[in-house]
Structure 1
Amino acid sequence: MFDARQGLYTARELLDGFNPEHTLAFTETFDFSVFRAFVKEGGAVPKTLDIRRRQAEHDSCIGDGLRRFLKAHDRPLVGIMGGHSVPRDDAAYRDLALLAGHLNERGYLIVTGGGPGIMEAAHFGVVFSGRNAAKFDEALAFLKGTPRFPDLDGLIDSDGNVAPDMEGKRIQARDWLAASLKARSMAEGELPVSLAIPTWLYGAEPTMPFASHYGKYFQNSIREEALVNNSRTGIVYGHGGGGTLREIFQDVELNFYAKQPKDFTPMIFFDKAGFWTSQPDIKGTVVVHDRIKLDQVVPNILRTARLKIDKDDAKVKECLNKIYFGDVYDDIDRILRAHAPTAQSNREFALNAQPLKVSISRINRA
């Protein structure tokens, strides 16, 4: 199950065995069978050295497949991060999908963490851009019929057995995935290229099938590093929670130590509804509007850091101008486009194993 492989996965491989006619089809996929084995053999803490070695070999092969994929697709790589729980009928889902489609049409290659919610929205937007843009609303309306996937925590026990009392949730998960596949079938031709980098650590989350390539890892730490560090042209942050915050502050750290302003990577907080610029609305113990106000925190942290490094107001401003809170496509594209040449240059050096030519201290970050 943990054998090394050549290249990245496809949705067809991961979802092999899925039959929407079967009541419990969600747990019959190759993807889920690997997750069951992963949990049975210790999850994030493998039970034996042999399991650890096989997982490491698998993840090394995925890393090499990712390197070859990026060499073959020489386009500015933009990461899109966001929460897995954003439902398909939420305005944030549609807004992010439209932005991702726009970025795809502008020549950027989209990469996400490969999960549901905002991540699915990004790949859905790529699929229904360009020649399939006219079908966007039809496919989205179909997806809205199954807006949320169920909470599948506890679906399997530590021995990899499926809990017998969760049949209803397994059916919900099947229907959620079946809707994804049906919506994807509404697109004409081959899927546009986009990259998902998920992990079996979160294997209870259904695999969305809208990406063309999947670099699925066992170790989430390696996956996070690959995801954030390879989003060289910039990262777009949609509505999210704890996982998105981790990625934001991982990005903050890298920009904190960037050697020069040109190496500072754009941080785009995509914000139509004040999610990143407003305080949460809480009444008693009820969260009325879930928001995370970062429009002062992130710039202040990085302004302080850059003053220590750059010691020049003009250089600090050059960095801070790459932090954007808003939703204007032209502004987003302008920021990403200006940074793309540096990102592409550093990516070329990194992919060709020329670390001394990469202009920053971290070989795979620009």
Structure 2
Amino acid sequence: MQEIESLPDLDRVLRDGRPLRGLRLQDLDLTGHEVELMARADVEGMVVLGGRMTDELATHLRASGALVFPTDPHAPVNPYRASLYQPHELYEGLAAGGYEATPDALAYHWSRDGALQHDAFVTLLRAVHDDSISDALGEVLGDARVVGVMGGHTMSRGTPAYAAAARLGHTLAERGLVVLTGGGPGAMEAANLGAFSPTERALDDALERIARVPGFRPSIDAWAGVALELHDELLRTPVADARVRSVGIPTWFYGHEPPNVFCNGIAKYFSNAVREDGLLARCTAGLVVLEGAAGTVQEVFQAATRLYYAAPEAALPVVVLVGRTHWTDTIPVWPALQALGRGRAMAGSLHLVDTVEEAAALVTSNVSEGS
């Protein structure tokens, strides 16, 4: 089995005269290859996931033993896509029709409508979409050292807490780490913005400009509009290298949370369970948890479960909670973590600190010791 995700890859296979049996063609426009493919009969077991082709080619492929999976022409997103989203894709049409006209908003409504109607085809397409996104995310991250930054969506732009989270993201990215967040507003956006900013000067300017629209309520349009302008300017800022620094993993499960745009790629999922598991599994360099509520608490204990059941000889990533009062008194997660870690290897990986500077030092020193 070989995945073919680009037309150049398909051209090479056709040029080499290799059998097409067992290939997986994902989201390709095959209209320019119709003559070549119509002449081939060695396609038994080939799987064609979405893309474009004529009815004649689809009929030929099916008659020759291939499986051709259709898409839903009414779906606002492509279930078979082979790459992560970019911000302007999800917010296309924002300026003309407002947020409710964007693919991001339409995808949420499409997903919810399908669930309410018990539409098996929509359920299938959502699952295929999420698997495609996981595959694309794995290709983007590769073997990079990834640190997760979690926190609540209510943190406002222009506040000291937002600036601190942004500087945390920038520090981690400057140390060669990829900053991975839940991809939403608040603390998640701040960390992504910091990582996405190529210089401290660029970050200082970004923090000042973005504070003009503190939150996504009451207007997602204004919140996203100023961010998209800033995103494009940051992309034009000269950088020493073009490596991936910032990735967001949001979900349409939380329809009230729009995705933030300060990412090299956005892995947006329909299934929050798949999204959460994939997010935490990729935080191999550690996890920093800023102040948050129910969603953040869920992520903390999912991470703790991985540490609790890890093999005794495994090298464990650090989990750093920032905000001693918040995690001890306001939401007493820290005492529960201490109880879980008592007598286990995970105890040495759990940390409670007061500042993002302490958190960054713990993560980077742990990465240096492990490299």
Q: Does TM, scored on the shorter chain, surpass 0.5?
A: yes
2:137 is matched with which residue: 52, 63, 66?
66
Cα RMSD (Å): 2.3
Gaps of 5+ in 2: 1-74
The match for 2:63 is: none
Deviation, 1:103, is 0.4
TM-score (norm 1): 0.73
**Post-superposition shift, 1:218?**
0.9
1:196 corresponds to? 248
Write the deviation string for residues 49-90 of structure 1: whole angstroms up to 9, x where unpaired: 21111111111111111121122xx32100111111111133
Are 2:118 and 1:55 aligned? no
CA 1:322–1:332 in 2, change beyond 3 Å: closer, same or farther? farther
Distance in structure 2 (CA, Å) of the matches to 1:336 and 1:63: 26
Runs of 4+ aligned structure 1 residues displaced above 4 Å come to 189-192, 334-337, 339-342
Q: Which amino acid aligns with 2:172?
A: L
The one-letter code sitting in structure 2 at the alignment partner of 1:91 is: P
Deviations 1:234-293 (A, max 9, x none): 11101110000000011111111111264332101123x74324x23xxxxxxxxxxx23
Picking from 30, 35, 46, the partner of 2:103 is 30
Deviation at 1:336, TM superposition (A): 4.5
Aligned partner letter, 1:51: V
In the alignment, structure 1 residue 144 sits paired with structure 2 residue 211: yes
**Based on CA coordinates, which of the two structures has the bigger radius of gyration?**
2
1:27 corresponds to which letter in structure 2? E
Superposed displacement of residue 340, structure 1:
6.7
| 3-state DSSP of counterpart to 2:94 | coil
Question: Are 2:317 and 1:265 equivalent residues in the alignment?
Answer: yes
Whole-Å separation in 1 of the counterparts to 2:363 and 2:193: 24
Contact 1:35 1:204 in 2 (8 A): no
* 2:207 is equivalent to residue 207 of structure 1: no
Following superposition of structure 1 onto structure 2, how do residues 1-366 of structure 1 map, counting pairs within 5 Å?
Answer: 1=75, 3-19=79-95, 22=96, 24-42=97-115, 47-71=118-142, 74-128=143-197, 130=198, 132-150=199-217, 169=218, 172-187=219-234, 188-189=237-238, 193-260=245-312, 262-271=314-323, 274-277=325-328, 279-280=329-330, 292-304=331-343, 306=344, 316=345, 319-326=346-353, 327=355, 329=357, 332-339=360-367
Structure number with greater CO (CA < 8 Å, separation at least 6) is: 1
> CA 1:340 to 1:36, structure 2 compared with 1: closer, same or farther past 3 Å?
farther
Distance (Å, rounded) in 2 between the aligned partners of 1:16 and 1:337: 41
Percent of counterpart pairs with the same letter? 28
CA contact 2:164–2:356 (8 Å) conserved in 1: no
Q: What are the ranges of 5 or more consecutive residues in structure 1 without an aligned counterpart?
A: 151-168, 281-291, 307-315, 345-366
Alignment correspondent of 2:15:
none
